[in-house]
Amino acid sequence: MPMVTQKEIRPPVNLKIATMKDLARMLVSWSQRDRPASMLYFEHRGKHIYGTLISNHGYYEMYGLPLWVYTEGEAPPEGNFLTYKTREKETIGFTESVDSDPMTVHLPIIRVAAKPDFIDM
């Protein structure tokens, strides 16, 4: 398999989501279809960036459209997982570990040292 150079890598399409709740809702819905979702976190130009890379399969004649789906947070994560609950009221939060509450979805947060070069933002 030939090696791909940095110049040959095209950046994904940026899709900025309005809020952290919207991003969590999107990740939870996608993880139920394909595979468990995780979230990347890094600081860039003084902003706290939370997001994930996905591929929108079957995009017209392409094999897939790579998307960088992200939002800006107010601060760094206060734990290793973003928690998402829909009952009694939709809420999100942070926790250090996964608990046994079946009504809570835990999205792992992966901290990267810096913005990946292939993300164009």
Domain boundaries defined on the chain: 8-111
Q: Is 25 in a helix, a strand, or coil?
A: helix
| 83 vs 54 pLDDT, higher one | 83
* 10-66: pLDDT as tens digits: 788 899 999 999 999 999 887 766 567 889 999 999 999 999 988 777 666 666 788
**Cβ of 87: how many Cβ atoms within 10 Å?**
8
Contact of 90 with 24, CB cutoff 8 Å = no
d(CA 98, CA 95): 7
Query: What percent of the chain has a predicted confidence (pLDDT) above 70?
Result: 89
Indicate the average pLDDT of the chain: 87
Q: Report pTM.
A: 0.85
